[in-house]
Amino acid sequence: MTHDPYVADDARYDSMQYRRSGRSGLRLPAISLGLWHNFGGLHALDTQREILLAAFDMGIAHYDLANNYGPPPGSAEENFGGFLARDLMPYRDEIIISTKAGYYMHPGPYGEWGSRKYLLSSLDASLRRMGLDYVDVFYHHRPDPDTPIEESMMALDQAVRSGKALYAGVSNYGPEATREAAAILEDLGTPMLIHQFKYSMYERTPEEGLLDALDDAGVGSIVFSPLAQGMLSDKYLSGVPEGSRVTHSQFLSEKQLTETYLERTRALNEIALGRGQTLAQLALQWVLRRGRVTSALVGASSVAQLEANVAALSFPDLTDQEIEAIDAHAVHGTYLG
């Protein structure tokens, strides 16, 4: 299907909040668009295009990918590369494009984890799929228990020095590994820009040392699953909607919808309603509270869903009293059942 040439909205930067990533000069939108779900080979290309372009028009100038995003693996980067070539390339200098390597991508000893061989060959493959000379941020997607952390960080340093990435980041590293990785990169002369990790009202592990490690190292943070894959919404409070993610996702199960989950989620929903917003909007504001998180990654299956998420930024900041009320119900592990 053909489309009229895309022209970005002149007001795209007027309402979005931008936050500096650690001690770097890079600022990211408070809400970033993740292409983990809904942008692979199984989803309608027209809908993908609508969401991507609407995001840019809202000031979401950061698109987050990984080599294995799809399904099938690689298809999200391929699709994004097509939209970039047809619509967004005139705005390339305004866009932050992130990708990662670390999870399984292909068979053999160099198809996952953290060797220099895998990380750098994966980056080259990602650039080919997206039709790019460089990405803005290249992450090691998860720590490798068998490869020395020095080797993985040297690969990130080489990616930056080669001009194939502008910044280096890590994802899913614990506090001590984060401190070690940041120190190695600092010594190499390629400071760590950002850490991507899971964080939500129901996933509070980062508060046990990781956020402090990032503050100490001057590293930015971007969180994934801030809505606990939809469990921090009102979606499941009155039953399981047909076709919802919990009915088909490998990461969610109806067994997680316990009475404890429902009790806590209903209480949080009441707090949100008292503020005139949805629970999902409250959950996004919560992870962004007090400025400790640079950006929150959201997925979207429609423009309306993305607009609703971005609208979270229009509400007043959470007060200390509201945060205290939320903490009574925002219990780690609730989403696990």
Tokens of 283: 């959950």
Does the structure show a pLDDT above 70 at 292? yes
Q: Does domain 18-336 have CATH number 3.40.605.10?
A: no
Q: pLDDT tens digits, residue range 246-273?
A: 444 554 556 677 889 999 999 999 999 9
Domain ranges of the chain: 18-336
305: left (phi over 0), alpha (psi -120 to 50) or beta: alpha
Query: Rounded CA gap, 98 and 91, in Å?
Result: 16
Classify each residue of 78-93 as buried b or exposed e, where b means 16 or more C-beta atoms within 10 Å of its C-beta: bbbbbbbeebbeeeee
Q: pLDDT tens digits, residue range 182-223?
A: 999 999 999 999 999 999 999 999 999 999 999 999 999 999
Query: Rounded CA gap, 276 and 124, in Å?
Result: 47
Q: pLDDT tens digits, residue range 4-52?
A: 899 999 999 999 999 999 999 999 999 999 999 899 988 899 999 999 9
Residue that the structure tokens 């993740």 belong to: 34
